[in-house]
A and B are shown apart, each in its own frame.
Chain A
Amino acid sequence: MSKTEFNEERPLIMHIDLNSCFATVEQQARPMLRGKPIAIVNRRTDHTAIITASYEAKAMGVKVGMKLREAKLLCPDIIALESDPSKYKFVYHKLLDIMRDYSAHVTMKSIDEGIIDFHNTSADIAGRDLVEIGLEIKQRLKDEIGVWMRCNVGIATNRFLAKTAAGLHKPDGLDVLTSQNIIETLGELKLTDLTGIASRNQKRLNSVGIFTPLQFLDADITTLHKVVFKSVVGEWWYKRLRGWEVDDVETRIGRVGRQYVLERFDLTHTEVLQRLHHLCESVGSRLRSQNLSARGVYVYAKSSEHGYWHSSVLTPLPFYSDQSIYAQAQHLFKKAPDSIKEIGIHCYELGPVENDQISLFADQITRERHVVEAIDVVNKRYGERTLHSADTLGTGIYVNQKIPFGSTRYL
């Protein structure tokens, strides 16, 4: 690689990652858990999947996504804790506040990682060494949240390399990736260590003889564009690996949804519908919190006998009330299979709520809007689900709010 191909500007992108975030936060909150293998789960049953494992548990081979039962075989002393989203939300907001002290251009990628773009910051900040700022942020996490908090910091010229740098020395690393050390660093990684390269992309790369990140870096743009990815994605990878920014794009909300793994697999159809209704209320609330309406409803069910089943409907008029969402989901669910293990719903074809829309059903829509607004006001004042449909009265203990992965819109 010739040096001129690499982005030689000063590295001004900082990626901050609270690895094993939920486990670390629990160990911070509960000092007796520190140094012990712990796993965060949504429900403390043997068949539940692990959301996060502490570094102590990971050292024993426990992995995210593993069933708790399997983890106990590897690590009999593992302590399973139910997730506590309010703690994680608090830490998320603390981290965000700290990051915003350094730049107006902060993007949170998920509940436990974010990016500070130091382009166009104040002269005071711009004049400082970013390594020094990274160390200061690490110390501020300890001072402002608690002594057990740690984070990984990566600095580079683009988001992809900054994230790669943040993953080099977990759990408390700070690395800078530049043209000076890119070859040495990529030489120590596997293809699947790169964010965005999972088994499918790995196979694509392998098919043209690319088995390592260094071979990936050496590949020419035409091969990546026309042979490997067969689209502009190949060109993006070519630039990404050389430190040019291609990932600074705002994502639009395409859909709003929720899913739920049933607490028992022998629930009656009515009991499944009650849980679906609960999910619809949750989705409706999220939709309205973003001032959006939808035109489509998609439902799915995973069945032990019939595999994955799904159905959807698209309507001419937009809707946003829990009642409208559930009415459509319930209708679609008439054809759902038996022996259901998991259900999910999402609304799509989203658009802004238009209050002045005239339709043949204007009176009905206005009445519905007033009821929905009144319910939302009560729930905001007195707490979530103070008012909800009667048939979801008993579902709250099961289908309670869990951690929203990926999107930070609802935090």
Chain B
Amino acid sequence: MNDEIFLNEPVKVIATFSGGHHPCKPVMFKRANGREVRVSELGLRHPLPNGNKTIHAFDVTDGGTDYRLQFDSELLTWHLTMEADHYEQN
């Protein structure tokens, strides 16, 4: 079974900006409850359709849980919009 939780939680994010094929990489984020999550891998970064405004979706993992972070390039805000923490057998 797929245990996805959909959220719209504002988060604080530390990200690196550099060159290469993946110029922006979230490294760590802090959730509303104070918990800090260290990103071990950026799975995929892709834009989300939203008219002329670009929202970047970053699918990341900390090695135990998959997360989606969304960056609003107009407002410069980050939100945690999905958490899938384990995949139980049916």
Contact = CB atoms under 8 A, between A and B. Distances in A.
Contact of B43 (A28, A143, A383): A28
A30 B43 contact: yes
A386 B49 CA distance: 12
Contacts of B57: 86-87
Given A30-B59, A32-B66, A379 B51 contact: yes
Interface residues of B, number: 25
Interface string B55-90: 001010100111000000000000000001011011
A87 B56 CA distance: 11
B49 A31 contact: no
Chain A, interface residues (CB within 8 Å), range: 20 to 34
Q: Which of A32, A146, A380, A382 has the most CB of B within 10 A?
A: A32
Contacts of A380: 51-52
Interface in A60-78: 72, 76-77
- For the residues of A in contact with B, the DSSP-based class is helix
A96 to B, nearest CB: 14
B36 interface: no
Interface of A: 25, 28-33, 36, 44, 72, 76-77, 79-81, 86-87, 89-91, 143-146, 379-384, 386
8 contacts: A30-B43, A36-B87, A72-B90, A90-B46, A91-B46, A381-B51, A383-B50, A384-B51
Given A32-B86, A146-B43, A382-B52, 15 more contacts: A29-B44, A30-B61, A31-B41, A31-B43, A31-B66, A32-B65, A72-B90, A86-B46, A90-B44, A143-B21, A145-B44, A380-B51, A380-B52, A384-B49, A386-B51
Interface of B: 1-2, 21, 41, 43-44, 46-53, 57, 59, 61, 64-66, 84, 86-87, 89-90
